[in-house]
Amino acid sequence: MTASTNRIAFQGEPGAYSHEACRAARPDMEALPCRTFEDVIEAVRSRQADLAMLPVENSTYGRVADIHHLLPESGLHIIDECFVRVHISLLAVPGATLDDIREAMSHTVLLGQCRNFLRQYGIRSIVGPDTAGSAMLVAQHGDRHRGALASALAGEIYGLDRLADRIEDRQNNTTRFLIMSRQADESRRANRAGDDRMLTSFVFRVRNIPAALYKAMGGFATNGVNMTKLESYMVDGVFTATQFYADVEGHPDDPAVARALEELRYFTSELTILGVYPADPLRAEQASG
């Protein structure tokens, strides 16, 4: 048996929000930075890491491109989810003040989340490689007139001062991450807060019959199973080949979920369970907020 590495892989530079998610969800594990999402998955498959931390959607910008295509082919299983509030800090070289900053660098998505703050202080936006990578470049160049928009963790890692915190326009901005493993784990029935709310994620393709999707979804409605997400995307760039990704509340062993999945199988040509896992405690707050 291969020994555990006690590592969790994430995409980005140290200090990325995915790194922050690793610290929040698995503080006892070493976070392993990877260049791409594919590299994150491969790190787990090749046993360089035990777990993968992958962002799937953001409350402001929607789903993360390409992730839904990667999940079914990854060979990995979802064992947990992690919600991370995106709190943005303005970082600068030691000794710089807010009045010194003339331009701020970050990923284009993060720049768009701080428009009000940047406008208020007359700071010009500069598109950087990513959030933590921008912080790293600011630290390397040492220009007191250039700041970075990134996590407080990035400031800690690269030795930058935090000139302003929580400057995002929307205070409820949240990213949902999935934690994936080589082995499925359907044994748990509660999250770290003791909440027993479970989720089941799966992908499927409907059979080529009239109203197949409508009929496939009927089993969840008649059995009272709450579907929290349903998304479609093309497969291999073909308009007629559509795959669906879904999250439902409950465990496949629950009678209502079992009946709904049985009915779904009748109307699908493919059905793959991606994972069964506890709901993150922040999920309820995000739904109510």
CA distances from 1 to 7, 47, 265 (A): 17, 11, 35
pLDDT exceeds cutoff 80 at 208 = no
Query: What does the pLDDT average to over 115-119?
Result: 96
| 19-73 confidence digits (pLDDT tens) | 999 999 999 999 999 999 999 999 999 999 999 999 999 887 778 877 878 888 8
Q: What is the DSSP string of 166-180?
A: ---S-TT-EEEEEEE
Share of the chain above pLDDT 70, in %: 92
| 132-189 confidence digits (pLDDT tens) | 999 999 999 999 999 999 999 999 999 999 999 999 998 888 999 999 999 988 776 6
CATH number of 198-288: 3.30.70.260
pLDDT exceeds cutoff 70 at 192 = no
Q: How far apart are CA 223 and CA 263, in angstroms?
A: 10
E strand or H helix at 83: strand 77-85
Domain 7-86+173-181 CATH superfamily: Periplasmic binding protein-like II (3.40.190.10)
Q: How far apart are CA 130 and CA 136, in angstroms?
A: 10
Catalytic residues: 175, 177
Domain with CATH 3.40.190.10 in the chain: 7-86+173-181, 89-164
User: What is 89-164's CATH topology?
Assistant: D-Maltodextrin-Binding Protein; domain 2 (3.40.190)
**pLDDT value of residue 213:** 86
Nearest to 131 by CA among 178, 83, 180, 84: 84
Domain with CATH 3.30.70.260 in the chain: 198-288
